[in-house]
Structure 1
Amino acid sequence: MEIKIGIQNVARELVLNSDLGADEVQAKVTEALTSGSPLVLEDPKGTTTVVPAASIGYVETGKETKRKVGFTPLPLA
């Protein structure tokens, strides 16, 4: 799933992929905002991203888009 995080006073958004579902991401964001602890997310490759809760402007989650890879048979002439 693709996660976009807008950070206050930063022009670019942070985009990362995660194996978490939308409900799990929402729970982690809610927990970070209510407790003031940093939002910690890990991508499938093991990279950890830490965002201070006070700096979070918004979090957007989207459906994971599978890349279509395939071959089209060529017409025989």
Structure 2
Amino acid sequence: MEIKIGIQHTARELNLESNLSAEEVEAAVAAALKDGGVLTLADEKDRKVLIPGSKIAYVELGEPTGRRVGFGAI
């Protein structure tokens, strides 16, 4: 699953691919926002991302799009 996280006072968003389901990510984000804790997510290569809950601006969840190859019609 593709996850995009906007962080306050940062021009760029954080993009990562994770094996977590949308429900698992939603629960982790809700817990971090509610308690003012830290959002911890692992990407496909088991690297961890830690974000303070108070600094999260938005979270966008979606399925990854397949990469297009070649010069075929769009």
- Larger mean CA deviation between 16-25 and 57-66 belongs to 57-66
Q: Identity over aligned residues, as a percent? A: 52
Tell me the equivalent position of 1:24: 24
Tell me the equivalent position of 2:47: 47
**CA displacement, residues 1-35 of structure 1 (integer Å, 9 cap, x when unaligned):** 01000000000000001001111101100010001
For 1:67 and 1:11, the matched residues in 2 are separated by 26
Partner SS for 2:54: helix
Q: CA deviation at 1:45?
A: 0.6
Q: TM-score, normalised by structure 1?
A: 0.82
Q: Which runs of 4+ in 1 moved over 4 A?
A: 66-69
Which residues of structure 1 form unaligned runs of 5+? Answer: 70-77
Partner SS for 2:64: coil
Alignment partner of 1:33 is 2:33 = yes
RMSD after superposition: 1.4
Q: TM-score, normalised by structure 2?
A: 0.85
- Aligned residue pairs, count: 69
**CA displacement, residues 17-72 of structure 1 (integer Å, 9 cap, x when unaligned):** 10011111011000100011100000121100000001000000001334578xxx
Which structure has greater strand proportion? Answer: 2
Which residues of structure 2 form unaligned runs of 5+? Answer: 70-74
Larger radius of gyration: 1
